[in-house]
Chains A and B, each alone.
Chain A
Amino acid sequence: MPGHARPSARRFLEGRGRYVADLSMPGMLHAVVVRSTEAHADISVDASAARAVAGVRLVLDGGDILAAIQPPPIIWDVPGQRRSGLRALAHGRVRYVGEPVAIVVAESEAIARHAAALVRIAYAPRPVVASIDQALAADAPRLYDDWPDNVVASAEWSGGEPDAAFADAPVHVSGRYVSGRVSAHSLETRGVLAAYDPAQDGVTIHSSTQGPHQLREAIAWCLGVAEHRIRVIVPDVGGAFGSKSCPYGEEILLAYLALWLRAPVRWIESRAEAFVACAPGRDEIVDIELALSEDGLILGLKALITLDKGAEPYAASVGAAWAGAMMVTGAYRIADVHVATRVVVTNKTPTGAYRGYGTPEVNFALERALDDAARRIGIDPAELRRRNLVPPEAMPAPSATGLLLLDSGRYEEMLDLALDAFDYRARVGRARAERAEGRAVGIGLAFYVEPTNLGPSALCGMIGIASGGFDIATIRMEPSGQVVVFTGQTPMGQGVERVLQQICAAELTMPDEDVTVVHGDTQACPYTAYGSGGSRGTGIGGSAVMLAASRLREKLCAIGAHLLGAAPDDVELSQGGVQVRDDAARRVSIARAARAAYLAHDLPAGMDPGLDARASFDPATLAITYGVALAEVEVDRETGLVNVRDILFGHDCGRQINPALVEAQVIGGIVQGIGATLYEGLDHDAAGRPVTRCMRDYPLPFAADVPPIALVHLETPSPFFPNGAKGVGESGAIPIPAAIANAIRDALGDTAGDAVNRLPIRPESLLPS
């Protein structure tokens, strides 16, 4: 349909989406997970009453799976990091509220729930570690008896001579910046339907996941089942945002249950469970120090990134902190840098990946600190940034630590574009005038860089990712001339299926509707090394499709040339046909060439019959998307409520294959960023018990909370990708917290105090104490 960014989305409007909870099978059983209600305790489990309930088929606790289910693999697996050894069910000891203790399988969900309530867990409480500070205290209780402390891993990187730079610099600023624990909160919770597959003596798992191949690997590893007997199918995914990127214990358990019971078993996470069991994100403290010259040049940066992992490393492990170390220098030229990371365990739900994954946390710190520096030096904050941005002619530009390569971009041009579009000067003046009248109005900005197109496999190895970073695509042209693309990428609303369709159709000069895309099935689809995360769908998955399509095109052209009696070099593919260059009269349609490939009566000598192609794509570098966010806010001095009046977002993700989908990603990310800045937080009491347990306690932004948002774009293709595209999935969420916090600081002046350094910035924190 003309004017529709994603025509296949129509089924969702009709109520024909198919999510895991919509699937059922004959004889399907229902699983309910029994979870710890204590943050730290030794436990004993008595499931006898639950087992006795009519209709209950099986109850397993941690002791029952010790031999059968191994601890899951770690995806960010850095040298020397400590492991929890935890399995899918706790055994003898629990370490967070929400930790799975037992699983009940019954003939109906109601019976399973009833029986689950009868599983008795006796708790002998242990002292609780509820915060990073408590975890690091000298006499802290330890979560793992065989660890010397509560630290999973730590590391440091240096470039240049940071100590010397700091000693010589006239201006120093420093601060502690806290990004609170938040929930990705996809509207669809997690869910799994696992079924025994008698034909393969294997198991088929339907799961709401971002990484079908990664899930298959984890199941194979944990259960000792060969990968070819495991089939992961991903139905429609109702949002994910990183939280469904790493395998979970429940997915492993369900696969085990289906194999054990030789029956289909379904588990659907309740919303209350999601708040304690679906990996949250952020929960990081960044201490940052900047050394500057009198005229605002950044001479040195020191940062300490401390990530609260919750109760165990989990598959995502140290990744967010390591990614933060890579990104902490941002878009700026900084010659002398020292970055340290440490990752600690506490008695809270293990954190995982969430949109931005370490980048928003360091961006918040750096961009807040730069504002303080501008104030100290007495120059405009936008000007201070301008003086330090890496210029295009310096790219590709490695950071001082060597962790980051800024591949391409026009940073200063972007800044100017955005400042103009926002009418920045005039707004700053108006805000000053309003403040003079007593209103707390302020303007703030933040520049950002986003690591996308993860990633070169060699880089993955270097930074401790236990997988590659490539994607494979296969394309099959049917005898009728239409095309099926097979990808390891997984749609979850971002529209990657649409983008891959467009890429393939463009390469083959065909109408989009002649291309279908098959995804979400490990038995049919080629391997993806990292799934749909790291903003890599278009850049990596799309490049693989483009390369495969160009191989297919070559074969089509060879067949077409043969049919036309022309030399292969003299023909080209255009508008759905192969024709002799500059001679439109000598032309065969794609359909005719395709039929010839399958008839195989008369093919060029030595050519294989059939028409398909395969390509893998492993990039040379990450692609760094970038941009700037500007915000105008007014704070109500009576209530502390922040009214975001306007947002402008400047953005460059290289070539845009589907601009409407790019815009959708940016806006969606911005609004999640607003949520994390002003509303959302997963809070705990002193005993480590989560107090945010339902949607009522976790105020997502609704439509009325969203300010006007204007976007401006540049398109600077990345020279390192065949399609020039960089990723876009995480952009919006990255600079919004700093931009809004800087605007609040501007509005309130010194009275803002420390409140603007901790997310979320809640109204009560902005009231005079």
Chain B
Amino acid sequence: MLINCTLNGRDTAIEAAATTRLSALLRETLGLTGTHVACDEGVCGSCTVLLDGSAARACLTLAGQCDGVAIETVEGVAAGETFETIADAFLRHNALQCGFCTPGFVTTVAAMLRDDARERLGDAEVEARISSVACRCTGYLPIVAAVRDLLGRDR
């Protein structure tokens, strides 16, 4: 089917089988390899992208669901306004090692920062959102510190 969507801010028409996973579509067809696949079953969050601004698992999203949707990948976030502050916080807190999980955190955090309700996000909600992405390297503490820093909260 022909999927009309916005991809990283650009109107795009993509020809794909409706049942193709969005993660595969992004990586294999569109060459956007920043979206990583670590489990392919919705657990790890490495494949997190923004669909109409909300964080979603690309491996659990089918191409057919993307018609009329604004898709933003880590590459899109990296070209956007909030990215500099995100990158600076992650690098200052040394919140990444191998980098495989990192795009999942960047997109998740971008959604939080844009969330109009971010001031009202409770600590538990912030923790829950960070806990939607797995990292095997960092032990999370530096990631949590970077995110709290970005949200302007004390540790």
Which residues of chain A are within 8 angstroms of B43 by Cβ–Cβ distance? 694-696
- Whether B99 pairs with A9 at a CB distance below 8 angstroms is yes
Which residues of chain B are within 8 angstroms of A270 by Cβ–Cβ distance? 40
Q: Which of B50-58, B61-69, B111-119, B141-149 lies at the interface with chain A?
A: B141-149
Which residues of chain B are within 8 angstroms of A495 by Cβ–Cβ distance? 97
Pick the residue among A6, A14, A670 that contacts B34 (CB under 8 A).
A14
Pick the residue among B75, B98, B134, B142 that contacts A492 (CB under 8 A).
B98
For window 485-533 of A, CB contacts with B under 8 Å fall at: 492-495
Asked if B12 lies at the interface with its beta carbon under 8 angstroms from chain A, I say no
Cα distance A669–B91 when bound, in Å? 20
- Whether B94 pairs with A5 at a CB distance below 8 angstroms is yes
Pick the residue among B39, B87, B134 that contacts A13 (CB under 8 A).
B87
Asked if A335 lies at the interface with its beta carbon under 8 angstroms from chain B, I say no
- Counting contact residues on chain A (CB < 8 A from B), the size range is 35 or more
- Whether A703 pairs with B142 at a CB distance below 8 angstroms is no
Smallest CB separation, A20 vs chain B (Å): 11
Q: Is the interface of A mostly helix, strand, loop or mixed?
A: loop
Given A9-B99, A187-B134, 14 more pairs with CB closer than 8 A = A1-B91, A3-B92, A4-B91, A4-B92, A12-B98, A13-B102, A14-B34, A16-B78, A17-B34, A185-B136, A187-B44, A187-B98, A670-B139, A701-B140
Smallest CB separation, A608 vs chain B (Å): 40
Cα distance A239–B43 when bound, in Å? 18
Smallest CB separation, A670 vs chain B (Å): 6
- Whether B74 pairs with A187 at a CB distance below 8 angstroms is no
Cα distance A241–B141 when bound, in Å? 19
- Whether B100 pairs with A494 at a CB distance below 8 angstroms is no
Q: List 21 A-B contacts (CB under 8 A).
A: A4-B91, A6-B94, A13-B83, A15-B103, A17-B99, A17-B102, A19-B100, A21-B37, A22-B27, A237-B98, A270-B40, A271-B39, A271-B41, A664-B97, A668-B136, A670-B139, A671-B138, A672-B139, A700-B136, A706-B144, A732-B139
- Whether A664 pairs with B134 at a CB distance below 8 angstroms is no
Asked if B6 lies at the interface with its beta carbon under 8 angstroms from chain A, I say no
**Given known contacts A4-B91, A668-B137, A703-B143, is B39 in contact with A239 (CB within 8 Å)?**
no
For window 722-742 of A, CB contacts with B under 8 Å fall at: 732
**Given known contacts A5-B94, A7-B91, A12-B102, is B136 in contact with A672 (CB within 8 Å)?**
yes
- Whether A9 pairs with B41 at a CB distance below 8 angstroms is no
Cα distance A553–B33 when bound, in Å? 42
Top 8 A-B pairs, shortest CB-CB distance = A15-B34, A12-B99, A493-B98, A493-B97, A238-B100, A671-B139, A15-B74, A22-B33
Interface membership of chain B positions 121-144, coded 1 if the CB is closer than 8 angstroms to chain A and 0 otherwise: 000000110111111111111111
Pick the residue among B91, B100, B134 that contacts A17 (CB under 8 A).
B100
Which residues of chain A are within 8 angstroms of B39 by Cβ–Cβ distance? 271, 694-695
- Whether B138 pairs with A13 at a CB distance below 8 angstroms is no
Asked if A37 lies at the interface with its beta carbon under 8 angstroms from chain B, I say no
